[in-house]
Amino acid sequence: MPPRHRLPAQSLPDIDVAIIGAGSAGLSAALVLGRCLRKVVVLDGGAPRNTPSPAVQGFFTRDGTQPADLLRLGREQLAAYATVEIREARVVSLTPLGPFFELTLEGTTGRTSTLTARKVLLATGVEDELPPIDGMRDLWGRGVLHCPYCHGWEVRDQPLAVYGRAKMVTGLALLVSRWSKDVVACIDGPGFLTENARRRLRQQKIQVREEPVVRLEGTTEGELRYIVFASGEKLARTAVFIHAHQHQRSTLAEQMGCRLTSKGAIWVDKKQQTTVRGLYAAGDITPGTQQAILAAAEGSATAISINETLTREECPK
C-alpha cells in the first residue's frame, strides 16, 4: 500500500468518512473514497426510494436494470476495496465531537454501538408523500409515476394523465405531452388554472378535468387501468404522473441544525458541504433534479471534495 499522509498527533477517530445511506449516492461516494485509500464505513439503513420501480432507466450502461440489481452490483464492486466496509445499521444520533463526529448506531439485532469519523456524508434519501387516494400507493412506481425522464419512454404513445394541484399540473402536463399526444390534466382540490395556463394546455390539446378523483383502479401487478371520478365516471389511462411532495427520510440534518431550503432539501455549497462544517450531503436530499445517475454523480463529486479537504488537513501549510 502506498504511503499515507499523517495527521498531527492527536486522538484519532475510528474512520475517515461515515456515509449514511447505501443508495446510488452513498455507494458511488464510497467507491471514489475507497480508491483514495480512505477508511470508510457505509451505513445501510433500509430500502431506497425506487424499490417499487421495475427498473432504473436512463442510467448509462445500466438502462433497464432493476433497482436491487444496481445496488447489488455497486456493493460487489466495493468488495475490492479493503478500506471500505458496509454495515447494516441505522444511525440513531450524530454528534459533533471537537473536529470529528460521533455516530450512535443501532444494528439489526437492536444492539447499539458508537463510531467516530472525521467527516460524514448524508445520503439518506427522501420519501414521497402520495395523495390520499385509494390505489395511489398500490400502483406507485408502475402505474403512478413521478418522473417522465425516468419512465416516459416506457409509456410513450399511450393514454396518460397528470394529477396534482393546479399550479403544478400545467408544467408537468406540458412536459409529459412530449411522450404522448393523449394527455389529460386532472386538477386536485381547490384552486384554479389561470387563463394563460388553460391556453397553453389547449394549444397542446391537453384536456382538463376538474372533478375530484376518488380512486385509481389497476391490476395486481401495479398497472393502472382507470382513474375514477366522484361522479363514478371512469377514465381509461395507462399511467398517471404526479408531482408528489417529499420529506427527508432522516431527521439527522434537522437535528444537526443544517440549513434547509423552502422545499425541505438540505442546502449545500459548491463542495456539497452543509452549513455544518465537516457534514456533507448528496443525492435526492439536496436541491435539484432527482435521478439515480445524477445521485451517483453527486456522490462521486462529494467524495472528491471530502478527500481534498482531508488532504489539506493532513498537509497543512
**DSSP letter string, 177-196:** TTT-S-EEEEEPSS----HH
Which grid cell sits at 160? 396518460
194: Cβ contacts below 8 Å, ≥ 6 apart? none
Q: What is the pLDDT of residue 103?
A: 97
Supply the pLDDT for residue 7.
Answer: 55
Sheet hosting strand 224-229, strand order edge to edge? 213-218, 224-229, 234-236
**Residue 78 pLDDT:** 98
Quickly count: other Cβ atoms within 10 Å of residue 167's Cβ: 14
CB 209, CB 238: distance < 8 Å: no
The DSSP code sequence of 110-126 is S-EEEEEEEEEEE---E
Residue 208 φ/ψ, nearest 5 degrees: -110, 130
Residue 282 in contact with residue 295, Cβ under 8 Å? yes
d(CA 299, CA 272): 9
pLDDT at residue 53, as a whole number: 85
pLDDT tens-digit profile of 203-262?
A: 999 999 999 999 999 999 999 999 999 999 999 999 999 998 899 999 999 999 999 999
Q: What is the chain's percent helix, strand, coil content, to nearest 5?
A: 25, 30, 45
Whether 298 contacts 25, CB under 8 Å: yes
What is the spatial distance between Cα 230 and Cα 212, in angstroms, rounded to a whole number? 6
| Confidence (pLDDT) at 4 | 60
Our CA dihedral for 58, 60, 62, 63, rounded to 10 degrees, sits at 30
H/E element holding 215?
Answer: strand 213-218
| 303 CB neighbour count, 10 Å cutoff | 29
Given this model, what pLDDT does residue 175 score?
97
Distance CA 76, CA 79 (A): 5
Mind listing the pLDDT tens digit for each residue in 61-92?
999 999 999 999 999 999 999 999 999 999 99
Positions in the chain whose pLDDT score sits under 70: 1-10
pLDDT score, position 9: 47
Strands 234-236 and 224-229: antiparallel
Using an 8 Å Cβ cutoff, are 148 and 241 in contact? yes
Q: Give the strands of the sheet with 183-187, arranged side by side.
A: 144-145, 239-242, 160-164, 183-187, 207-209
Measure the CA–CA gap between 37 and 81, rounded to whole angstroms.
8
User: Which is it for strands 100-107 and 84-97: parallel, antiparallel or unpaired?
Assistant: antiparallel
